[in-house]
Amino acid sequence: MTWLNPAAFAFLTLIPVVLLLHALRHRRRDVRVSTLFLWESVLREAHGSLGLQRLVQNLPLLLQLFLVCMFTAALANPVLTTIVAENKDIVLVLDVSASMQTRTPQGTRFTQAQQRALEVLQMLPRGRQMALITAGRQPQVVLLFTADKDILREAIMSQQPTDAPGNMRDAVLLALSFIQGSGTHEVVIVGDGAYGPLFDLDLRRSSVRHIQVAGGENNIGITRMALRKVLETPDTYDILIAVKNFSTQPVEVPLQVTAILRKPLLERRLQLQPGQEEVIVSTLTGPLKGIVQAEIVVEDDLPLDNRAYGVVAAPTQTWVLLVGESNYFLETLLTSFPGLLVNVAPQVAEETLPRLLEANQVIIFNGVQPPPLRRGNFLLLNTAPQDPRLPSQGTVTRPQVLDWQRQHPLLQFVELSDLHVEEALVVQPQAGAQSLVDGTGTSLISVIDEPQLHLVTVAFDLMRSDLPLRVAFPVFMNNLLRWLRPQQDETSAGYVQAGMAHAMFFDKPVTQATVQDPQGKQRDYSVSGNPWVFTDAQRVGVYIVRAGEAKHYLVVNLLDEAESDINPAHKLPSFTPSSNPGTPQHAGIVETPLWLYLLLGTVVVLLGEWYLWCRDF
């Protein structure tokens, strides 16, 4: 035993004070009586029990002295020292993946993992340090090496399991990079083993200890879900759902698919043998909009994978008027876009333009001079507008692409390196216009973006370039239609697995977005750049992102068979490399504090002394 605060023994000087206080008692006074024969029998009886009486009379004194000793010992901070053979710094890898939410009779697996991690911390030798890494979808260094056990304990207890699959392999690699084969470090993995084997890692040259938590055996989960619209049939959707039995007993699983404020769209009862997966492909009919939920109604040990989500956005139609020369590539591409209808006209007069703008949301002028354009959504190909902000004079032969605005919504994921253009108009954007693609001597693509006028100018003929033969062409046209399309219905949807980042495109510049999580809580985010990458999709459910007039659904599911399999067949072994005989082995000292127990004993003694005092009155 070691006393970490020996200066506290100075409080033992209170013992003489207590004795002095007890010595200050009233003296007996002499009283004359007529005879003593009546007192002789009383004195004989008192003499027989004198020792017990003295003890009872002095018991408060003894308790108070014992109280001073106990309190002084607690202040001296005694620790029980234990010598251990290993004396190493520890890199603790804590599993925070979705499977750690598995319920057990002792709580969740993650609760057990935290207790095991605290036990490892308790056995950390004095003077040694520990670092903490969490193994989620992306390994995260929570705490670098420190010897402060209070900070380490707080860091361990502050962690929570996520809804995302884990990446134990990268977490172990990160931990091994901390120790780099050092014999004075050890990697301790605390998890449930539901992360696949790590046999491809060379663990034998490092000290690796695996503490596996268990409990919970029965799980049935949804491992796949997909929802798509049938283009040939209105108000019809195909849905695919895969359900697998990960338990050791056959089960009957009720499956239902529902939409908000709608009766169940699909109901099935599945008979699943142990390890069996059944795939259901069905058709949903009727106008749908919003969130669609697939659910298996079972009581198992991992409820997280019992639900999966999808989103159906309201179908919209967009009419596009193609004016001018015929272009096979352009017409074929436009008609392939869902909900896009194309009209064709050889020429447009200025007086008919207002009426055409009412019937068409986008007008494309291909190789013909447009009338003056003051409002509307336009794409000009191989022609220039009658607008002083985009003057055009002459042509340039074989212009080379110098640079382009990669972050603009029109050019997201558009690769224009080595674009071959035979001839292009010389367009020089002035104030009020912006060049998106700079070429030698001209602006190959430029825009005018105003509240009433959205105009894109492509200064070359598509048929005299290799752009239609590139992957960039459909990407560019899709970006362009999204950018030009009127803001009638800005509902869109994205799908990610829990823990993954999701890039969102905004047709209009925005600086702030409001995100509503699956629990209904809202949070404001500052938006910088387009696309904006959302990285907080950590929980399963549907996130709703609002930015200006735009509304974006983000569907987050688990859909991971490795996480749903809560009974892994393999077990990660532990490795302790043999030490070099010439290397001295230093024992470590583990300190167990005892002050809390002494303090509790002090409270018990204090209550006893108070009881005796109350009894005397």
CA proximity to 88, closest of 172, 238, 206, 193: 206
Using one digit for the tens of pLDDT, what is the confidence trace for 439-451?
999 999 999 998 8
pLDDT value at residue 585 = 39
* Token reading at 256: 């239902």
Report DSSP state, residue 213. Answer: -
pTM over 0.75: no
CA proximity to 191, closest of 165, 224, 173, 213: 213
The count of other CB atoms within 10 Å of the CB of residue 46 is: 11
Confidence of residue 197 (pLDDT cuts 50, 70, 90): low
pLDDT at 166 over 50: yes
| Alpha-carbon distance values, 336 to 11, 314, 317, 604 (Å) | 89, 19, 13, 83
CA distance 385 to 427: 10
Q: What is the mean predicted confidence (pLDDT) over 260-278?
A: 87
Using one digit for the tens of pLDDT, what is the confidence trace for 379-425?
999 999 999 999 999 999 999 999 999 888 899 889 998 999 999 99
Please, what are the domains in the chain?
A: 2-29+37-77+598-616 (no CATH), 86-216+566-586 (3.40.50.410), 318-484 (3.40.50.880), 491-557 (2.60.40.10)
Using one digit for the tens of pLDDT, what is the confidence trace for 579-596?
443 333 344 445 667 777
CA distance 420 to 443: 14
- Indicate the burial class of 389 (C-beta count within 10 angstroms; 0-12, 13-18, 19 or more): middle
Report DSSP state, residue 398. Answer: S
Paired residues of 534 in beta bridges: 502
Return the H-helix or E-strand segment holding 449: strand 442-449
Q: What is the mean predicted confidence (pLDDT) over 215-221?
A: 91
CA proximity to 124, closest of 78, 160, 156: 156
Using one digit for the tens of pLDDT, what is the confidence trace for 52-109?
455 445 677 777 788 888 888 888 877 766 654 456 789 999 999 999 999 998 899 9
Residues of the chain with pLDDT > 90, as a percent, come to 42
Q: Which residue's structure tokens are 């003295």?
A: 54
Report DSSP state, residue 421. Answer: B
pLDDT at 489 over 50: no
Average of per-residue pLDDT values in the chain: 83
